Amino acid sequence: MLTLENVTSVFRSSPNGYMVLLPNKPYFTIAAVNKPFLDVIKANRADLIGKGIFETIYHRPSIWGPKGMKSLKNALEDTMQSKKASNYNVADWEINTFPLLDDEEKIKFIVHNLTDTTQVITNDDQQIALNNALLIQNSFQHPLFDDYPDAVFTLDPEGNFLSANKALIDLTECREEELFKLSFTPFIAPGDREKAHDHFKKTTHGELQNFDIRTISAKGTHRILNVTNLPIVINQEVIGVHVIAKDITAITKTQKQLDDYHYRISDILESITDGFMALDRDWVVTYWNKEAERLLLMSREYMIGKNIWEVYEDAIPTKFYSEYHRAVDENISVRFDEYFSRLNIWIEVSAFPSDEGLSLYFRDITERKHGEEQLQQEKEKYLELFNFSPLPQWVFDAETLQFLDVNNAAVKHYGYSKEEFLEMTIKDIRPAADVKELGEILKDTFKTGIFRARMVRHLKKSGELMHICVEANAVTFEGKAAMLVLAIDYTEKLKSERALAASEQRFKALVQDGSDLVAILDPTGNYKYVSPTSKSILGIDPEQLIGKNAFDFIHKDDKEKVISQFGLLNEQKRVKIMPFRFKGVDSHYHWIETIITDMTEDPVVAGIVANSRDVTQRMEGELKTQDGIDRLREIAWMQAHEVRAPLACVMGLSKILLDNNEDERSRKESLQHLMRSAGELDSIIREIIKKAEDLPTDL
């Protein structure tokens, strides 16, 4: 494990001056410093530890000069960006800077070396002896190197092994005592040996080298390594080479697979619900998916090849600009929320740097942001809402399933006191037969991280069984992983639904088994349902009427009256339509009497119910009776009007004939008139007798 103690103990015995920095740009806080470094700069350790390098060692431009100060900063910034060592000469000083990476390939420490180039040892033999001692002594035998996951070793200027950690022994598959008799050459694949020697030669001339190389172990195992060569410099002389080799065989083998997945990844990026864009190192857009088009209102064709900051210049003062640059400069992923004023929305961004540039995933979180702001403002209010919510809620421990908190509604609804709840687990409110199912639900929930709303059975303290719809979300409660649960009791609703289903069944039974014709019409009169009695009443199968309009079967003389009465449903719920003629099979008309009821708002019926009864026999009897009554009225009229005139004439003539004062001629004329009136009266009486004979016998 890479710790500060391990790092400092490695450089503690080195004659070179070393300083360990934290990678907290721009401060680069000094975490440790060895004695040779303190001697070089003539400073006390207490004056340096915990302070930034530019406010202590490099705080005087008069010593280093403006160009020197820039070089010093460049050395550290280059190391941060590239994760590779850097080398600079400033005034009379040689500066070496290289990073130490953790298991996640992140820079954990920066080792900084400062050497006074004016101090030269004149005794060559003494220098060589010192160099060899430094290379062979235990500076590079510390547990840090044995525990380091990558191969770390030291070579002399001829390329012979002087020190090696366990990782190198494993890679070479060679015994340690044999390894120290060899140079690195036998472990390089024949085709790459010239390349390896060229990089080694450049390192011995003071150049840092990083390259990939093919290797072969003592047992014939082929690997590909990423190698970093760092020159060991003392008094401007390279006395050896530090080497860090990382096994990238697996990475190389998977590269082809990554290429194969390219098109699949492209499909995924187009189908994801997040917006996605890719930028190169110059901030030029190289990818822009459909969701990005929709969310940012910019087409792919317009954006590809454009500099993002030229298109969105108004975003430069915002986090979009600063965080994107931080991700690239520090080679770290960043996640943040920011308000985008151009579109009046909040955006959540996840940015991931790479050698090619920056990948950005983003989504519109305006609604969520407003909710979070409101949540922050109303925190106390929402705490009360939990306790006073009309729906039962509780929080339980995701590991032990113990109730951690319950609201008042849960206490009231389930019958347990809050204290009793807190002594229970969520298993205790489940029927024993459902506990196994609960385990499966929780297993699936914790595996996927998603809790789907579902119907379950719960028990009250009284033992009453309830049908509950539960919804849940993962939360952190008092530092514990927990679940917040909302419980909605559907027991009464399910009872109502069952009662409704039974009611529907009874309704169908009454309709199908009744003697009346029952139909359901839409508001325009089209049949939606017709009971089976249509066959016995009208001679028409119900299926033949479905979809047809009822008014098309009504006698033309009755249609206007029926339509008018049908329209009364706009004012009243129930309307009785007096008997009318309805066409049945073979165009035979039946007299039917109907009651219509508007039940369009009833979800079961959703229409106008027409309950009809065949009254043909009754109507024919009534019509026959009405015809007799009309004839009697005609006879009465004849008796009252037509008989009266000739009868009055007879009575008048009779009175004249009884008067003896008239002469014979006048009496004769009167008799003639009398006979004529009597004839008229006889004709009328005969007509009345004839009409009376045609009257129905049951009147």
pLDDT tens digits for range 596-628: 999 888 877 889 999 898 888 888 767 666 665
Average pLDDT of the residues in 354-364: 92
Over residues 289-300, the mean pLDDT reads 93
Residue with tokens 């951690």: 404
Q: What is the DSSP string of 491-558?
A: HHHHHHHHHHHHHHHHHHHHHHHSSSEEEEE-TTSBEEEE-TTHHHHHS--HHHHTTSBGGGGB-HHH
Count Cβ atoms within 10 A of the Cβ of residue 431 and give its class: 0-12 exposed, 13-18 middle, 19 or more buried.
Answer: middle
Rg (CA), the chain: 53
- The CATH number of domain 378-489, selected from 3.30.450.20, 3.40.720.10, 3.40.640.10, 3.30.413.10: 3.30.450.20
- CATH no., domain 621-693: 1.10.287
For the chain, how far is it from start to end, CA to CA, in angstroms?
Answer: 120
pLDDT surpasses 70 at 278: yes
**Cα–Cα distance between 146 and 120 in angstroms, integer?**
33
pLDDT band, very low/low/confident/very high, at 133 (cuts 50, 70, 90): very low
Instruction: Look up residue 335 and give its two tokens.
Output: 């996640």
For the chain, give percent helix, strand, coil, nearest 5: 45, 30, 25
In which band, very low, low, confident or very high, does the pLDDT at 421 lie, cut at 50, 70 and 90? very high
Residue with tokens 């908190």: 405
Digit-coded pLDDT (tens) for 564-602: 999 898 889 999 998 999 998 888 899 999 999 998 888
- Where does the chain hold its CATH 1.10.287 domain(s)? 621-693
Tokens of 310: 């030229």
pLDDT band at 123 (very low <50, low <70, confident <90, very high): very low
Q: How confident is the model at residue 130, as a pLDDT?
A: 46
CA dihedral 299, 304, 308, 312 (to 10 degrees): -20
pLDDT of residue 292: 94
Q: What is the DSSP letter of 51?
A: S
How deeply is 525 buried, as exposed, middle or buried, from its count of CB atoms within 10 A (0-12, 13-18, 19+)? Answer: middle
Q: What is the CATH number of domain 120-255?
A: 3.30.450.20
Whether the per-residue pLDDT at 187 is higher than 90: the answer is yes
Block residue for tokens 């600079």: 88
d(CA 379, CA 1): 42
- Where do runs of H (alpha helix) occur along 205-318? 249-260, 262-271, 290-296, 300-303, 308-311
Give the three-class secondary structure for 21.
strand
Q: What is the pLDDT of residues 455-496, one digit of tens each?
A: 899 999 999 999 999 988 888 888 888 988 999 998 888 887
**280, pLDDT greater than 90:** yes
- Among the residue ranges 163-167, 344-348, 352-356, 660-664, the one predicted with the least confidence is 660-664
Sign of CA dihedral 467, 471, 475, 478: negative
Domain with CATH 3.30.450.20 in the chain: 1-116, 120-255, 261-369, 378-489, 512-614
Residue 511 has pLDDT above 50, yes or no: yes
Q: Map residue 283 onto helix, strand or coil.
A: coil
pLDDT of residue 337: 93
Query: What average pLDDT does this structure show over 17-43?
Result: 85
Q: Give pLDDT, residue 637.
A: 55
Confidence (pLDDT) at 122: 42
pTM of structure: 0.30
Q: Which residues pair with 227 in a beta bridge?
A: 211, 245
Contacts of 110 (CB under 8 A, 6+ apart): 20, 21, 22, 23, 28, 76, 79, 80, 97, 98, 99, 100
Complete DSSP assignment for 102-170: -TTS-EEEEEEEEEETT-----HHHHHHHHHHHHHSGGG-SHHHHH-SSEEEEE-TT-BEEEE-HHHHH
**Distance between CA atoms of residues 17 and 11, nearest Å:** 8
pLDDT at residue 125 is higher than 50: no
What's CA 276's distance to the chain center, in Å? Answer: 16
The mean pLDDT of 443-454, rounded to a whole number, is: 79
For residues 381 and 131, the model is more confident at: 381
Rounded CA-CA distance 594/592 in Å is: 6
Question: Is residue 41 within 8 Å of residue 57, measured between CB atoms?
Answer: yes
User: How many whole angstroms separate alpha carbon 164 and alpha carbon 185?
Assistant: 15
Amino acid at 154: T
Of 89-103, 169-183, 202-216, 323-337, where does mean pLDDT reach its minimum? 89-103
Q: What is the mean pLDDT of residues 170-197?
A: 94
35 falls in which pLDDT band (50, 70, 90)? confident
Instruction: Write down the pLDDT at residue 368.
Output: 86
Structure tokens at 504: 């529907």
Residue 230 pairs in a beta bridge with: 242
Q: Is the peptide bond before 603 cis (omega within 30 degrees of 0)?
A: no
Structure tokens, 471:
């919804």
Is 153:241 a contact under the CB 8 Å cutoff?
A: no
Grade residue 53 by pLDDT with cuts at 50, 70 and 90. confident
Architecture of domain 261-369 in this structure: 2-Layer Sandwich (3.30)
Q: Give the pLDDT score at 330.
A: 94
E strand segments, 40-106:
86-90, 93-101
The whole-angstrom separation of Cα 458 and Cα 489 is 9
**Count of alpha carbons within 13 Å of 185, Cβ hemisphere only?**
10
Residue 150 CB contacts under 8 Å (≥ 6 apart), including other chains: 167, 244, 245, 246, 247
Q: Out of 2-11, 53-62, 278-287, 335-344, which region has the weakest mean confidence (pLDDT)? A: 2-11
Residue among 519, 518, 539 at smallest CA distance from 528: 519
The correct CATH number of 512-614 out of 1.10.3720.10, 3.40.630.70, 1.10.357.10, 3.30.450.20 is 3.30.450.20
In sequence order, which ranges of 143-236 are alpha helices (DSSP H)? 143-147, 166-172, 176-179, 193-204
* Residues pairing with 280 in the sheet: 357
Mean pLDDT value across residues 175-186: 92
pLDDT at 95: 76
What pLDDT is attached to residue 639?
Answer: 55
pLDDT band of residue 156 (cuts 50, 70, 90) is very high
Q: What is the residue-averaged pLDDT of the chain?
A: 82
pLDDT above 70 covers a percentage of the chain that reads 78
For residue 73, the SS3 value is: helix
Q: How far apart are CA 432 and CA 439, in angstroms?
A: 12
Joined together, the tokens standing for residue 397 give 């421990």
Confidence (pLDDT) at 107 = 87
Class of domain 1-116: alpha beta
Whether residue 96 contacts residue 85, with contact meaning beta carbons closer than 8 Å, is answered with yes
Q: In this structure, are residues 241 and 204 in contact, taking their beta carbons and an 8 Å threshold?
A: yes
Contact indicator for 21, 112 with CB cutoff of 8 Å: yes
Q: How far is CA 42 from the centre of its chain?
A: 62
Instruction: From residue 616, give the alpha-carbon distance in Å to each of 403, 413, 581.
Output: 74, 61, 9
**DSSP code, position 430:** S
pLDDT band for position 281 (cuts 50, 70, 90) = very high
Res. 524: pLDDT tops 70: yes
pLDDT of residue 600: 87
Strand, coil or helix: what is 459?
strand
Give 250's pLDDT tier (boundaries 50, 70, 90): confident
pLDDT score recorded for residue 531: 87
Residues in the chain: 699
Using pLDDT thresholds of 50, 70 and 90, give the confidence band for residue 193.
very high
The count of other CB atoms within 10 Å of the CB of residue 203 is: 24
